[in-house]
């Protein structure tokens, strides 16, 4: 057993699910709310989400979308128009039936029977139908197209089994909705937004992803094509981190989104929708966390640098605080990733070691400790969260001069961002297995590769109908699903793993959240 005293009780290798719950709590990211399936996102967790929002919002605006806001309530009749859409969501919808409470005569409250809604309202699980209504009003002619909208909102899907950030009854997300003149343009846009998600996942969250198309049976209810980005968690499972859908004319037909073309004819629009959610925060935790807690990529960290003066309640303290403040001010005036460095001088009361471990668990990228000796020597003690441990089970402090720290930390933050990405990408690459060519070999692989087997890339003949159902069943028996058909993978050159027919493409198969 390692001599290193880790800051969490559970290690990833021992029980990943337990570790996940523990790190969320230890890093003070979120907690159960007491309301069924809903969580409270605490300041450190919400701060990370705010950063994701800002960075992704800039990318969404840069691709020509305007933000707007649509009602949270959707009349039940809206859902009746698109059959496969409602089939996909009806089982998990929160339904508002009353608009008033009255006393029940026993000190409690009940919905007022006199205030029953004529038509129940659904709390939006997604907004295709209500935004489709608006698009039908807004689009008249080809000149109004493309129409490119985005909304940041909360949505509700009544989940039976919930897990913080990954699957909650209410979650926060962004949903983009666009309308186009034809299939070609709409499909191109579907892929453009998938690329925006890839860039955000890899460049902002430092979370490598594989972008590809979902197989038919995994499509969004009502979509013609569904594309996803898939990230590998440290337990080898896949997290579907974002999806982009080409909806064909299905929703346009249901809502009547038509335009007059250049020749004066009436045409149906082709629409797209795409979304990512607070699930990304769960992905960040499971990709970057370690046995000491969270490691937040610098681009997302609410505080990128935390300065901890080792205060002793004596006259030395004022000088020490001033010395620390010098570093804080210098860093706050510098920039990393094109923004001012977010630096906290944490002078709250408390034992220095306890405070250090709090910030380690929260995953602040750089922790700078400053004691009296450091001040005398003109240096600081600097700890990189991504490379916490040095020799002899001691934290790997470096001791640059204060000026060198002020100069070097902005670049160091960019290095840490890269290092976290490279570490995650290398781990994922090491855990994708190729060359498995039969169902038996697939079974063997997952039986013999422990609890964290990663993904396999196999070839298939893209079965449909009953043949596809059989594949889905067989995979399900191994707790596996098809993740996606990666964009840009090598052409098929063998037999279909499931049917033995000539394969037409390569797919990723794995366990998933």
Residue with tokens 């380690």: 360
Task: Rule CB under 8 A: choose which of 96, 419, 439, 468 binds its own copies.
Answer: 96
DSSP 8-class letter at 439: H
The reply to whether 97 sits near its own copies by the rule CB under 8 A is yes
Q: Which residue has the tokens 């009255």?
A: 102
What minimum distance in Å lies between the beta carbon of 113 and its own copies? 11
Least distance between its own copies and beta carbon 418 (Å): 27
Burial of residue 215 (CB within 10 Å: 0-12, 13-18, 19+) is buried
| Closest distance of CB 338 from its own copies, Å | 12
Given the complex with its own copies, which of 111 and 408 has the nearer CB atom? 111
Q: Which residue in the set 48, 52, 60, 121 belongs to the binding site for its own copies (CB under 8 A)?
A: 121
**Residue among 125 and 236 whose Cβ is closer to its own copies:** 125
The answer to whether the CB of 131 falls within 8 A of the CB of 272 is: no
| Pairwise CA distance, residues 257 & 244, whole Å | 20
Instruction: Confirm or reject binding of residue 340 to its own copies (CB under 8 A).
Output: no
Determine the length of the chain.
513
Q: Are 213 and 226 in contact (CB under 8 A)?
A: yes
Q: Is there binding between residue 256 and its own copies (CB under 8 A)?
A: no
Residues 6+ apart with CB under 8 A from 377: 399
Distance, in Å, from the CA atom of 55 to the CA atom of 197, rounded to the nearest integer, reads: 11
Question: How many residues sit in the footprint of its own copies (CB under 8 A)?
Answer: 67
503 scored as a contact of its own copies (CB under 8 A): no
3-state SS class at 332: helix
> Does position 372 bind its own copies by CB under 8 A?
no
Task: Say which residues have a Cβ less than 8 Å from residue 248's Cβ, sequence separation at least 6.
Answer: 183, 186, 223, 224, 270, 271
**Cα angle, residue 198 at apex, residues 26 and 46 outer, rounded to 5°:** 30
State the minimum distance, in angstroms, from the CB of residue 243 to its own copies: 22
The verdict on 46 binding its own copies (CB under 8 A) reads yes
CA-CA distance, 69 to 152, in Å (whole number)?
8
Residue 58 makes contact with its own copies by CB under 8 A: no
Kindly identify the residues of this chain, within the stretch 404-463, that bind its own copies according to CB under 8 A.
none
**Which of 122, 238, 331, 343 lies at the binding interface for its own copies (CB under 8 A)?**
122
Per CB under 8 A, does 102 bind its own copies? Answer: yes
Q: Which of residues 15-44 bind its own copies (CB under 8 A)?
A: 31, 33-36, 38-43
Stretch binding its own copies (CB under 8 A), from 108-116, 269-277, 388-396, 410-418: 108-116
Judged by CB under 8 A, the chain residues 142 through 181 that form the site for its own copies are 143, 149, 153-154, 156, 158, 169-170, 172
Ordered DSSP codes for 348-384: -SS-HHHHHHHHHHHT-SEEEEE-HHHHHHTB-EEEE
Residues near its own copies (CB under 8 A) are 31, 33-36, 38-43, 45-47, 49-50, 66-77, 79-80, 86, 90-102, 107-111, 120-123, 130, 133-134, 137, 143, 149, 153-154, 156, 158, 169-170, 172, 349
């Amino acid at each position: 057993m390692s001599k290193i005293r880790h800051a969490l009780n559970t290690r990833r290798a021992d029980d990943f699910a337990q570790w996940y719950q523990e790190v969320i709590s230890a890093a003070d990211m979120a907690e159960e709310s007491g309301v069924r399936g809903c969580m409270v996102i605490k300041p450190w967790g919400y701060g990370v989400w705010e950063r994701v929002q800002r960075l992704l919002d800039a990318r969404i605006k840069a691709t020509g979308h305007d933000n707007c806001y649509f009602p949270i309530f959707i009349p039940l009749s809206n859902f009746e128009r698109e059959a496969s859409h409602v089939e996909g969501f009806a089982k998990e919808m929160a339904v508002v039936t009353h608009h008033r409470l009255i006393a029940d005569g026993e000190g409690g409250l009940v919905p007022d029977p006199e205030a029953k809604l004529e038509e129940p309202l659904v709390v939006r699980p997604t907004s295709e139908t209500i935004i489709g209504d608006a698009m039908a009003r807004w689009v008249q002619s080809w000149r109004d197209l493309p129409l490119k909208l985005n909304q940041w909102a909360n949505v509700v899907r009544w989940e039976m089994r919930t897990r913080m950030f990954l699957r909650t009854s209410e979650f926060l997300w962004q949903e983009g909705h666009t309308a186009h003149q034809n299939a070609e343009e709409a499909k191109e846009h579907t892929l453009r937004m998938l690329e925006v998600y890839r860039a955000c996942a890899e460049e902002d969250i430092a979370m490598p992803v594989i972008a590809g198309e979902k197989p038919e049976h995994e499509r969004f209810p009502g979509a013609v094509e569904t594309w996803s980005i898939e990230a590998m968690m440290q337990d080898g499972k896949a997290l579907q981190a974002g999806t982009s859908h080409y909806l064909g004319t299905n929703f346009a037909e249901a809502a009547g989104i038509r335009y007059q073309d250049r020749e004066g004819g009436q045409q149906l629009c082709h629409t797209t929708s795409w979304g990512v959610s607070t699930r990304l925060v769960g992905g960040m935790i499971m990709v970057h966390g370690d046995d000491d807690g969270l490691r937040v990529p610098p681009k997302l960290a609410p505080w990128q640098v935390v300065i901890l003066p080792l205060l002793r309640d004596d006259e030395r303290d004022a000088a020490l605080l001033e010395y620390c403040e010098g570093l804080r001010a210098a860093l706050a005036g510098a920039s990393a990733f094109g923004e001012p460095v977010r630096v906290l001088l944490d002078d709250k009361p408390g034992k220095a070691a306890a405070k250090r471990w709090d910030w380690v668990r929260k995953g602040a990228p750089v922790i700078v400790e400053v004691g009296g000796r450091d001040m005398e020597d003109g240096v600081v003690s600097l700890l990189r969260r991504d490379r916490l441990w040095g020799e002899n089970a001691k934290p790997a402090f470096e001791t640059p001069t204060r000026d060198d720290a002020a100069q070097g930390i902005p670049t160091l933050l960019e290095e840490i961002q890269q290092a976290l990405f490279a570490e995650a990408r290398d781990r994922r690459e090491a855990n994708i297995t190729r060359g498995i060519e039969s169902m038996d070999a697939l079974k063997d692989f997952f039986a013999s590769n422990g609890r964290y087997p990663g993904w396999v890339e196999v070839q298939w003949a893209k079965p449909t109908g009953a043949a596809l159902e059989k594949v889905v069943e067989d995979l399900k028996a191994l707790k596996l699903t098809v993740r996606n058909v990666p964009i840009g993978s090598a052409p098929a050159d063998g037999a279909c793993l499931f049917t033995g027919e000539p394969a037409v493409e390569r797919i990723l198969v794995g366990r998933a959240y």
